[in-house]
């Protein structure tokens, strides 16, 4: 499906969800005065709403911090977990009304920050020692379950993001408690997150696919470099970085291209400075190889356009 078709599907979904008519959409596309006035007023109202909400949130956080020692264990739980859960319920309620539907996204984000803090505070107040990692495991499990079930019900992109974050947190802590090698853990998490990003990129939640691609490739390459560095197969890292660049052309992802290119440049620079510090032949050889690769790429494109593409466009014999 092309980009235009994806955009058309999203536009139809928005029109259907909000009950818009063809006349209203045509008037908005024509840039009528009523639409422009409504648009400017909506932007201004949203701006002041965000700024006002930020002031309220910061003021509440400062007040709680100043009175933290005087609240008691039950009060500390109520001012952290209580507001977080209430905001989450309010966000879910906002999704049921198209007039305030936009407010659900920031509310979900705020709730995903306050609720984990509240769970950690609750565990700290009621725990009797032990490994704190189990508390993090429990927190990520509860939050991942809550956000995942809500995502299944509401299909919101912000919930997909928070579900991925808490699920990764749960898997990371679980693997660490199982004493899995950190490099192996990074490779597994990086590959898994990249696969999740691929799925997101082919869904209606593709707006967060770039972010998932970035962190997935970064975790994978970071763990692979730490694993392969100073080993007999260290040069495999260069192949892996080139593989990420190739994947970026298939997925059409700038995030993968940026991470893969940065990793390749950084590795080549570090390798040359370590093994060929005073040898000018190494960078010259790299430049020559680069020109050869560029020429081969141009030749491959020409061969594809001249022979392969024309042959595939030709009518098949019956």
151, pLDDT greater than 50: yes
Whether residue 75 sits in one domain with residue 175: yes
Asked, for residue 48, whether it belongs to a domain, the answer is no
Asked, for residue 106, whether it belongs to a domain, the answer is yes
Whether residue 79 sits in one domain with residue 158: yes
Whether residue 139 sits in one domain with residue 191: no
300, pLDDT greater than 70: no
**Using CA of residue 196, residue 202, residue 205, residue 208, what is the dihedral sign?**
positive
Quick one: pLDDT at residue 317?
37
Place of tokens 């594809």: 304
DSSP helix, strand, coil percent of the chain (3-state; round to 5): 85, 0, 15
CB neighbour list of residue 55: distance below 8 Å, 6 or more residues apart = none
Range of lowest pLDDT (78-87, 160-169, 210-219):
78-87
Neighbouring CB atoms inside 10 A of 105's CB total 16
**Cα(122)–Cα(139) distance, integer angstroms:** 10
Whether residue 175 sits in one domain with residue 80: yes
Whether residue 162 sits in one domain with residue 124: yes
Asked, for residue 195, whether it belongs to a domain, the answer is yes
Query: Which residue segment(s) compose the domain that 250 sits in?
Result: 184-275
pLDDT tens per residue across span 7-40: 677 777 777 766 677 776 676 666 655 555 555 4
Asked, for residue 145, whether it belongs to a domain, the answer is yes
Asked, for residue 3, whether it belongs to a domain, the answer is no
Asked, for residue 216, whether it belongs to a domain, the answer is yes
Asked, for residue 222, whether it belongs to a domain, the answer is yes
156, pLDDT greater than 50: yes
Q: Name the band, by pLDDT with cuts 50, 70 and 90, for residue 312.
A: very low
Q: Name the band, by pLDDT with cuts 50, 70 and 90, for residue 164.
A: very high
Contacts of residues 124-131 at CB distance under 8 Å and 24 or more positions apart, as own/partner, are 125/73, 125/76, 125/77, 126/73, 131/177
Q: Of 114, 148, 179, which closes a domain?
A: 179
**Cα(147)–Cα(119) distance, integer angstroms:** 15
60 vs 165, residue with greater confidence: 165
Whether residue 137 sits in one domain with residue 123: yes
pLDDT tens per residue across span 194-208: 999 999 988 888 889
Q: Of 179, 195, 223, which closes a domain?
A: 179
**Cα(49)–Cα(243) distance, integer angstroms:** 45
Whether residue 261 sits in one domain with residue 208: yes
Number of domains in the chain: 2
Cα angle 236, 239, 242; round to 5: 155
Q: Of 237, 258, 275, which closes a domain?
A: 275
Whether residue 158 sits in one domain with residue 116: yes
H helix and E strand count, the chain: 13, 0
Torsion angles phi and psi, residue 313, rounded to 5: -80, -15
Mean pLDDT along residues 235-260: 86
Torsion angles phi and psi, residue 167, rounded to 5: -65, -45
**Cα(88)–Cα(144) distance, integer angstroms:** 14
**Cα(236)–Cα(169) distance, integer angstroms:** 28
What is the SS3 assignment for 37-49?
Answer: HHHHHHHHHHHHH
pTM above 0.75, yes or no: no
Select from 179, 157, 63, 73 the least CA-distant residue to 109.
157
231, pLDDT greater than 90: no
User: 245 and 261 in contact (C-beta within 8 Å)?
Assistant: yes
DSSP state of 233: T
Asked, for residue 115, whether it belongs to a domain, the answer is yes
Whether residue 213 sits in one domain with residue 135: no
Burial class (CB in 10 A: 0-12, 13-18, 19+), 97: exposed
Whether residue 188 sits in one domain with residue 170: no
Whether residue 205 sits in one domain with residue 106: no
Q: What is the C-alpha R_g of the chain?
A: 26
Whether residue 160 sits in one domain with residue 194: no
DSSP state of 192: H
């Amino acid at each position: 499906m092309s980009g235009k078709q994806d955009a058309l599907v999203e536009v139809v979904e928005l029109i259907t969800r909000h009950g818009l008519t063809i006349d209203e959409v045509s008037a908005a596309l024509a840039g009528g005065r009523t639409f422009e006035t409504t648009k400017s007023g909506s932007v201004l109202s949203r701006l002041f709403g965000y700024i006002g909400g930020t002031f309220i949130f910061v003021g509440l956080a400062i007040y709680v911090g100043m009175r933290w020692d005087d609240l008691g264990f039950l009060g500390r739980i109520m001012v952290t977990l209580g507001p977080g859960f209430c905001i989450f319920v309010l966000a879910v309620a906002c999704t049921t009304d198209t007039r305030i539907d936009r407010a659900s996204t920031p509310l979900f984000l705020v709730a995903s920050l306050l609720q984990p803090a509240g769970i950690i505070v609750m565990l700290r107040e009621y725990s009797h020692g032990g490994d704190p990692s189990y508390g993090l495991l429990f927190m990520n499990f509860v939050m991942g379950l809550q956000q995942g079930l809500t995502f299944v019900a509401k299909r919101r992109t912000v919930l997909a993001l928070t579900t991925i974050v808490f699920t990764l947190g749960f898997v990371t802590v679980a693997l660490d408690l199982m004493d899995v090698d950190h490099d192996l853990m990074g490779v597994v998490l990086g590959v898994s997150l990249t696969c999740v990003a691929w799925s997101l990129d082919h869904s209606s939640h593709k707006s967060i696919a770039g972010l998932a691609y970035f962190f997935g490739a970064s975790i994978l390459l970071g763990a692979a470099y730490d694993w392969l560095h100073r080993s007999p197969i260290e040069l495999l890292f260069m192949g892996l970085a080139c593989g990420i660049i190739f994947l970026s052309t298939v997925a059409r992802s700038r995030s993968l291209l940026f991470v893969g290119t940065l990793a390749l440049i950084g590795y080549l620079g570090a390798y040359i400075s370590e093994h060929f510090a005073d040898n000018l032949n190494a960078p010259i050889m790299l430049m020559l190889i680069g020109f050869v690769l560029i020429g081969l790429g141009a030749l491959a494109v020409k061969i594809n356009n001249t022979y392969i593409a024309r042959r595939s466009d030709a009518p098949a014999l019956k």
